[in-house]
Amino acid sequence: MNSKPFTRSKTTHAFSTLPPLSMDGKSVVEDFRRYFSRTLGRSELNEAAYHVYTSFAMAWRDRIVERWKKTQASYDAEDSKRTYYLSLEFLMGRALSNAMLNLEETSSTTDALQKLGLFLEEITEQEHDAGLGNGGLGRLAACFLDSCATLQLPVMGYGLRYEYGMFRQKIENGYQMEEPDHWLRIGNPWEIERQEFAVRVKFGGHTEPYTDDQGNTRVRWVHSHDVLAVPYDMPIPGYRNGTVNTLRLWKSTATDEFDLDEFNAGSYAEAVGEKNDAEHITMVLYPNDASENGKELRLRQQYLLASASLQDILRHWVAQHGNDFSQFAEKNCFQLNDTHPTCSVPELMRLLIDEHGLNWDDAWAITSRTVAYTNHTLLPEALERWSVSMFGRLLPRLLDIVYEINARFLAEVSLRWPGDSDRQQRMSIIEEGPEKQVRMAYLAVVASMSVNGVAELHSRLLQQHLFHDFYELWPNKFNNKTNGVTPRRWMASSNPELSKLITSVIGSDWITDMPQLRKLTPYADDAKFRAQWRAVKQANKARLAALVQKDCGVTFDVDAIFDIQVKRIHEYKRQLLNVLHVIHLYDRLKRGERDGITPRCVLIGGKAAPGYQMAKRIIKLVNSVASVVNDDPSTSELLKLAFLPDYRVSAMEIICPGADLSEQISTAGKEASGTGNMKFMMNGAMTIGTLDGANIEILEEVGSENFFLFGLNAEEVEAIRGHYNPDAIIEQDDDLARVMHLLECGHFNLFEPGIFDPIIQSIRNPHDPWLTAADFRSYIDAQHSAASAYLDHDHWTRMSILNTAASGKFSSDRTIADYNREIWHLPNMAQ
Ligand code: 26Q
């Protein structure tokens, strides 16, 4: 498939000596005009908003490509160690404003555009979000790439180029509707197709032994149905440092050989049908952020990513080092983003043994020293398992290898704990039972040199529960890497006014050195600074209110407290608890209680997995309560509730700067980390939250006087199970009883009787895993404290400043520095 190089290589040399492009705004805009009128062939600026965006992006892309080539050439020349971040999801959002921020100041471009009557904001608005992820895990991968490039680390992302990203969410009659997100339809100026690096990936067929030239018995994988994986590269620019890293996304296509037998038999359509099957693999992102267990197409996606990426990496290795793998483990690291890319373990073994002739022990020494695994969940339903029969049918050679890994591993277990057959069964990578399963998390743990959770509590729970047996065997493998988010996108780019204000007092170094934000602490006592801070917050609230008006038709008053919960809809995240609080406030207002009530605007947003009925029902409840509350003239002055449709990265860029109160209210022990909590904190929101995930570390950094804490902790949650009695709690709590009564009498669903019965039952269920009723009282009390605190604007603004000042730990630069210091050991590659 490789295209032929030109024979006269002097031509290539000629390109590397092109003069650098000017960064002056005028010359960027000149290039933009050339792309618009000559390359895209358009003439009227005002009739072609999308083409304006594309040609402007192309002008910036040129400037990135120069730096990109240089960076990659320097990595090759230095032959430094590299890390590959393997992930089924990269939730990149928009690229243009990020590219402009990271490359250079943008003011001169803004001026040059204005001379043409164009506004930068209108242009950037044209870009479609790259929504190639579900939520936290996918966005984390995107923040990590930004930090790796900013820290000048040789890290490359590998993922899938889904034709359709995360579905678009519409709300009809209060219900979620899903629409396909064909984000590539109008083209993507940020990707470069690399046909020349396409690779073949095998599926199906079977394995057979054979004897090679040297008389060794080996195995080959035959009669497979192959597909072609074609890479598309996206540039990842670091913050003003000349580094541009790569995100390589695979698209599946058919190989060019049609099935000749079928073709000759006249089955043209069947032969072409096979082409379709191949193209289906990367057609769509699975929209579940917990589980969609056992779907064959999902396993095909996972293997395509693993196989294509590893072949690509090994090709590059062989081009540089020949077939000598003695230094491979010193020079390469694979970070697995959850178990989704864990096929990489048996696939690396297969490639090293079957394709490169290594023996088992040498291949295992390489694999087990290069792979590292990050876990993102404790929820049992989210742990990946594949039926052995499907796995073997689709990936027969990999199943052989998984069995061999397991046999050798169990031998090690029985050496350590002789005769403990219980433990062997518990730890086996293959789960026995009527339908045998491959436990992907165990495979990842066994093969990895490092296993990490994503916040202190989460990592501790992994060691004490999910992976306890493994922790006893290999305590040193286990570690924590508390998540972080990039301050470039989540402050500098999305909150320019706050960034300017911060920079005016402490300088701009905080953008790449977030702990410097601590220097803001004394300014919390400075009345003038507080006034400026509040003015910025009010302006950001106005921007958010405009979005809510446009997308929900609900009017938010910027003087009210903006109380916000945006994240995937999940029972463990307890959007339901939030709604119960809104109903409680509504009830109090209806009872005529007005004294000391703080005007409040509550915003909830997020997508439910299309098959998750309870989550969809919760969305309906939010919308039903919203229409009652907002339409009631006796409450709507003081209380508003809106459900924001189609929550996505670009919406969060407007939401988090405008938030006063950040809802982080999951049942303790269930949210691995959370990352939205960090974005809100940086932008000066106060958190109302449980002792869960990274909330605990946020509380530690900011102090309990600047955080609204409530609820059971993780130990208490486990201790209460077995004697939890929600009916008794409801009976003893007047406020909760009244809220339940409003729900149960159908006040919010007069025309659709019974639709909320499953929700009511879940609250009253003694086996409710999320313990909604248990935390109701302390949640209401914490909300009450927040509301009172908000009435004292000066005090609130003080706390807001202190939250930003304490948020330095939650930069993904710190997280990546931790990964690098303790796992990857990559050199800094200043350009
Ligand atoms: C699994 C099997 C089949 C199809 C889909 C999936 C699947 C896809 C996505 C399972 C899980 C996910 C995503 C999980 C996720 O986003 N977890 C979140 O990760 C964040 C980053 O570490 C944490 O902050 C959150 O706490 C965690 O919920």
Per DSSP, helices labelled H in 452-592 are 456-461, 468-473, 487, 496-506, 527-552, 575-590
Give the C-alpha distances (Å, rounded to integers) separating 652 from 250, 285, 349, 549, 658: 27, 21, 41, 16, 10
Q: Residue 44 has what pLDDT? A: 77
For CA atoms 368, 372, 377, 382, give the dihedral sign. Answer: negative
Catalytic one among 51, 570, 573, 648? 573
CA–centroid distance, residue 291 to ligand 1 (Å): 9
Hey, whose CA ends up nearest to atom 3 of ligand 1?
292
User: What residue ranges do the domains of the chain occupy?
Assistant: 79-93+129-167+191-325+332-380+444-462+818-824, 487-805
Cβ of 134 below 6 Å from ligand 1: yes
DSSP reduced 3-state for 206: strand
Q: Which helix (H) or strand (E) holds 662?
A: strand 661-664
Using the CB atoms, write b or e for 776-807: b if 16+ within 10 Å.
Answer: bbebbebbbebbebbeeeeebbbbbbbbbbbb
CATH class of the structural domain 487-805: alpha beta
Per-residue confidence (pLDDT) for residue 258, from 0 to 100: 56
What's residue 65's pLDDT? 97
pLDDT at 701: 98
Task: Tell me how crowded residue 146 is: count the other CB atoms within 10 A of its CB.
Answer: 26
Amino acid at 428: S
137 lines ligand 1 (CB under 6 A): yes
Average pLDDT, the chain: 95
Q: What distance in Å separates the CA atoms of residue 625 and residue 284, rounded to the nearest whole number? A: 34
For residues 585, 591, 594 and 595, what is the CA-based torsion angle, rounded to 10 degrees?
-100
pLDDT band of 107, cuts 50, 70, 90: confident
Locate the DSSP E strands across 42-150: 82-86, 90-93, 130-132
| pLDDT exceeds cutoff 50 at 651 | yes
- Does residue 116 or residue 14 have the better pLDDT? 116
Q: Tell which residue, 15, 144, 7, has the closest CA to residue 69.
A: 15
pLDDT at 268: 74
- What is the number of the ligand 1 atom nearest to the C-alpha of 138? 16
What is the predicted pLDDT for the residue at 48? Answer: 81
Task: State the residue for tokens 């320019």.
Answer: 496
Residue 775 has pLDDT above 60, yes or no: yes
Say yes or no: CB of residue 136 within 6 Å of ligand 1.
yes
What is the DSSP annotation of 215-268? S-EEEEEES-EEEEEEEEEEEEE-SSSS-EEEEEEEEEEE-S---HHHHHTT-H
Catalytic residue status for 211: no
* Spatial distance between the Cα atoms of 246 and 149, rounded to a whole number of angstroms: 9
Query: Distance from first CA to last CA of the chain, Å, rounded?
Result: 33
Q: How close is the Cα of 537 to the center of ligand 1, in Å?
A: 31
Nearest to 649 by CA among 91, 20, 23: 91
pLDDT at 105: 67
CA 780 to chain CA mean position, Å: 31
Token output for 793: 């604007």
Decide if 32 contacts 59 (C-beta within 8 A).
yes
At 13 the pLDDT is: 58
Q: In the annotation, is 488 catalytic?
A: no
Beta carbons within 10 angstroms of residue 720's beta carbon: 13
Residue 280 Cα to chain centre, angstroms: 23
Q: pLDDT band for position 270 (50/70/90)?
A: confident
Q: Determine the average pLDDT of the residues in 436-449.
A: 98
Q: What is the mean pLDDT of residues 292-321?
A: 95
Nearest-atom number in ligand 1 for the CA of 382 is: 10
The answer on pLDDT for 697 being more than 50 is yes
Distance CA 265, CA 275 (A): 17
Region at 173 (left for phi over 0; alpha for psi -120 to 50; beta for the rest): left
Say whether 281 sits in a helix, a strand or coil: coil
Across 249-278, average pLDDT:
76
Q: Is the CB of 296 under 6 A from ligand 1?
A: no
Rounded CA-CA distance 649/102 in Å is 18
Residue nearest atom 8 of ligand 1, based on CA coordinates: 289
pLDDT, one tens digit per residue, over 155-177 is 999 999 999 999 999 999 999 99
Burial group, residue 348, by CB count within 10 angstroms (0-12, 13-18, 19+): buried
Ligand 1 centroid from CA 440, angstroms: 15
Confirm or reject: Cβ of 286 under 6 Å from ligand 1.
yes
Q: Which of 686, 705, 606, 593 is nearest to 639 (CA)?
A: 593
d(CA 381, CA 291): 6
Q: What is the per-residue pLDDT for 518?
A: 98
Which residues partner with 478 through β-bridges?
451
Does the beta carbon of 288 sit less than 6 angstroms from any atom of ligand 1?
A: yes
Please tell me the distance from the alpha carbon of residue 318 to that of residue 30, in angstroms, as a whole number. Answer: 43
pLDDT class of 382 with cuts at 50, 70, 90: confident
d(CA 537, CA 686): 13
**What whole-number distance in Å separates Cα of residue 646 and Cα of residue 649?**
10
Pairing, β 437-439 against β 385-387: antiparallel
Ligand 1 neighbourhood includes 341 CB (under 6 angstroms): no
Whether the predicted pLDDT of 8 surpasses 80: no
Span 300-322, average pLDDT: 98
Could you read off the pLDDT of 191-232 as tens digits, one per residue? Answer: 999 999 999 999 999 999 999 999 999 999 999 999 999 999
Write the CA distances from 601 to 62, 207, 643, 794, integer angstroms. Answer: 44, 62, 11, 20
Which parts of 127-167 are beta strand (E)? Answer: 130-132, 155-160
- Confirm or reject: Cβ of 672 under 6 Å from ligand 1: yes
User: For a pocket test of ligand 1, which of 85, 90, 137, 815 has the largest count of ligand atoms closer than 8 A to its C-beta?
Assistant: 137
Among protein residues, the one with the nearest Cα to ligand 1's atom 1 is 291
CATH topology of domain 79-93+129-167+191-325+332-380+444-462+818-824: Rossmann fold (3.40.50)
Which tokens go with 195?
């046909």
CA distances for 12 relative to 15, 16, 62, 333, 499, angstroms: 5, 7, 17, 31, 43
Catalytic annotation present for 568? yes
Strand partners, 209: 219
Task: Give the number of the atom of ligand 1 that is nearest the alpha carbon of residue 292.
Answer: 3
CB–CB of 749/624 below 8 Å? yes
**Closest atom of ligand 1 to CA, residue 134:** 9
Q: Which ligand 1 atom lies nearest to the CA of residue 671?
A: 26
Q: Is the pLDDT of residue 106 over 80?
A: no
| Distance between CA atoms of residues 688 and 434, nearest Å | 46
Question: How far is it, in rounded angstroms, from Cα 146 to Cα 830?
Answer: 15
CB contact at 8 A, 398 and 343: yes
Place of tokens 């693999």: 281
Q: Which residue has the tokens 């805009």?
A: 29
* Ligand 1 site, residue 291, Cβ cutoff 6 A: yes
Other CB atoms within 10 Å distance of the CB of residue 630: 17
Q: Which among 376, 381, 288 has a CA at the least distance from the CA of 769?
A: 381
Nearest atom, ligand 1, residue 674 CA: 24
Q: Which two tokens stand for residue 821?
A: 């210091």
Least confident segment among 2-16, 59-73, 756-770: 2-16
675 labelled catalytic: yes
Amino acid at 558: V
Sign of CA dihedral 497, 503, 509, 515: negative
Q: Strands 686-689 and 661-664, how do they pair? A: parallel
- For the four alpha carbons of 60, 61, 64 and 65, in that order, the dihedral sign comes to negative
Angle (nearest 5°) at CA 127 between 810 and 287: 65
Neighbours of 511 (CB within 10 A): 22
* 487-805 shares the fold of 79-93+129-167+191-325+332-380+444-462+818-824: yes
Verify whether residue 679 is a known catalytic residue: yes
CA distances from 427 to 432, 443, 461, 513 (A): 11, 10, 17, 42
**Which band of pLDDT confidence, cut at 50, 70 and 90, is reported for residue 129?**
very high
- Cα separation, 560 vs 661, in Å, equals 11
| Confidence category of residue 595, pLDDT binned at 50, 70, 90 | confident
Q: Which two tokens stand for residue 170?
A: 């519409």
From ligand 1's centre to the CA of 322, what distance in Å? 38
pLDDT of 2: 47
692 touches ligand 1 (CB under 6 Å): no
Report the atom number in ligand 1 closest to the C-alpha of 693. 26
Query: Model confidence at 1, in pLDDT bands (50, 70, 90)?
Result: very low
Among protein residues, the one with the nearest Cα to ligand 1's atom 9 is 289
Closest-CA residue to 679 (of 698, 663, 656, 661): 656
Q: Active site residue: 376, 458, 477, 814, which one?
A: 376
83 is known as an active-site residue: no
How many other C-beta atoms are found inside a 10 Å radius of the C-beta of residue 718? 13
Whether the CB of 181 sits within 6 Å of ligand 1: no
- Give bridge partners of residue 131 from the DSSP assignment: 91
**CA 288 / ligand 1 centre spacing (Å):** 8
Distance 377 CA to ligand 1 centre (A): 7
> Residues with Cβ < 8 Å from 619, sequence gap 6 or more?
171, 174, 175, 176, 569, 608, 643
CA distance 531 to 514: 23
DSSP class of 604: E
